[in-house]
Structure 1
């Protein structure tokens, strides 16, 4: 039987080859330096051992050029590697505008995933090849870690806040999903799979779940059910912030700070409304902590992202 030796696992995302090249470069660089130092130690130990015939007369007392060289050259090499790694790291947080959002809730010991049209999956994620995918993740209990070796992505999933990661799959197939953070007695079985499909096939698969309300539509219903529209609607008598187009907007706070509204800001505003109070408004909003699930929070956030309350008629 013919077997092929693979130094690295399959590279199935747009970033995988970049990360592999960086890692191999770093291993080669550090390995070369380590080998050179080890070789010189052994060579000098033999060459200048006690009793050897090495000429020790006229030994130099200074060697500024050598000293400068062995400081500057390694420094420049490792600064270059640092700049390279920093650039690739920043790309993880420069999310393409056309990235498809998928919402993930981790819990002992499974992954619950939901697409924008409302289709849900358990410990399995279907995505189209060539399409950037953004994961918005939170945990229902303890710290988990979303790890797909073939995509070279790993992101901690934390209770009480949202974390995010994105990837672009480059080849169809099935790839293993792991939890890479010890999360309890059944941690080893918290596995899943990523199914990468051709775009047309994925569209057909996704449409099969269209019988359920989309996340934005469900979020709009929850927005009214929890009474949010009673204060945040344009015609409301209550003086409350306008939420249309909130995601990505700069918000000025009562304490003089400013921030860009993201998923964590919306989540905190619902569960911890006195944490970041918008400038010009009184902190009178009640907390909904313990009254709303993580899945419902994500649906409200998706509603706010897509349209805002005044555009609800366009949501389906």
Structure 2
């Protein structure tokens, strides 16, 4: 990498840098060209005597076409190139390692699906696509890892996503890139990229309480959710088996995809979107469960995609 630039350590870093240096080269080229032409014509067409008058010039169709078509072509190249990079950054691969991120003044909390939890440090394997599912407990934060060329807002009350695939082991700086209070500058961390074998060893020393889905199942039972959301379709609430990722028909005739945001809203604001065929009888859990517990419940609902729900007895 050129001096003063962060290391390239992800598959997306090369594409982002290529676009950036292209934009920089175009800007430098035209800045020098325009400045040079200004000086050149100022000298060439300077007034040589006090009484001289410049000749009148009318028209110049080729010149008009040139300075209209050339910028159009350059901007279209920038648009297509930039759009391709944007869509690549916005659409993770089908198979990703999902990790939940919770921003809070002034720390980062990471939760792996198998239950491992970290604060201000994130361990990931090299060569594998990692998807961060992010939310905030208080104000707007922003995840920024310069070496990976990734940056995304972390918003309270909703989930945002970003993904990366690290290309070499190492420790890389993680920053909050959105002013979030008096200790914003101290909201930093590290992403530790490990070889897959080393990552599995680190992961094997995980949390004794089990996976996020297992913790979510226990919470689901403790909150008595199972009394309404039964596996035999006889409950007063919708079945959750196979729900995640499906299209849900609502009482008002609209449809919505059951993703993380939908499950979150259904827990905190159950009257916002009522499933067709059911009454709005579910109580709100706003303020009764933490952000981490929300993630556990969401992961449990996602796990019901492949695992049968325990019937209520």
TM-score band, normalised by shorter chain: over 0.9
Residue 90 of structure 2: SS of its match in structure 1? coil
Structure 2 Cα separation of the partners of residues 64 and 130 of structure 1: 55
1:105 aligned partner:
102
Structure 1 residues 309, 62: CA separation in 2 closer, same or farther (over 3 Å shift)?
Answer: closer
CA contact (8 A) 1:230 1:236 kept: no
- 1:67 to partner: Cα distance: 0.7
Aligned runs of 1:87-126 on 2, under 5 Å? 87-126=84-123
1:299-314 paired onto structure 2 within 5 Å: 299-308=296-305, 311-312=308-309
Q: Distance in 2 between matches of 1:47 and 1:281?
A: 82
Structure 2: tracts of 5 or more residues without a match:
none
Report the 3-state secondary structure (helix = DSSP H, G, I; strand = E; otherwise coil) of the residue aligned with 2:190: strand
Q: Aligned residue for 2:274?
A: 277
User: Deviation of residue 265 (structure 1)?
Assistant: 0.8
2:257 aligns with 260
Q: Is the 8 A contact 1:11 1:150 kept in 2?
A: yes
- Give TM-score, length-normalised by structure 2: 0.93
- TM-superposed CA distance for 1:34, in Å, is 2.0
Greater mean alpha carbon deviation, residues 88-97 or residues 213-222: 88-97
Q: What secondary structure, in the 3-state scheme, does the structure 2 residue paired with 1:243 have?
A: coil
* SS of structure 2 residue aligned to 1:302: helix
Question: How has the CA–CA distance of structure 1 residues 312 and 239 changed in structure 2, closer, same or farther, with 3 Å as cutoff?
Answer: closer
Aligned residue number for residue 245 of structure 1: 242
Quote how far apart the aligned CAs of 1:43 are.
1.5
Q: TM-score, normalised by structure 1?
A: 0.92
For the structure 1 residues 50 and 285, does the alpha-carbon distance in structure 2 shift closer, same or farther, using more than 3 Å as the test? same
Q: Are the counterparts in 1 of residues 240 and 304 from structure 2 also a CA contact under 8 Å?
A: no
- List per-residue Cα deviations over 1:196-253 (Å, max 9, x = no partner): 0000000010010152211010111111222221111133543422222222212222
Q: CA RMSD in A?
A: 2.0
- The alignment partner of 2:62 has SS state of helix
Counterpart Cα distance in 1 of 2:268 and 2:230: 20
Post-superposition CA distance 1:98-134 (Å, at most 9, x none)? 2111111111111111111101111000000001111
Distance 2:4 2:246 in 1: 45
Give the CA deviation at 1:92: 1.9
Distance 1:243 1:45 in 2: 75
Question: Which 4+ residue blocks in structure 1 deviate beyond 6 angstroms?
Answer: 52-55
For structure 1, list consecutive stretches of 5 or more residues without a partner in the other structure.
none
> Which residue is equivalent to 1:203?
200
Residue 165 of structure 2 corresponds to residue 193 of structure 1? no
Q: Distance in 2 between matches of 1:307 and 1:119?
A: 21
- Number of residues of Structure 1 aligned to a counterpart in Structure 2: 309
Match status 1:41 vs 2:29: no
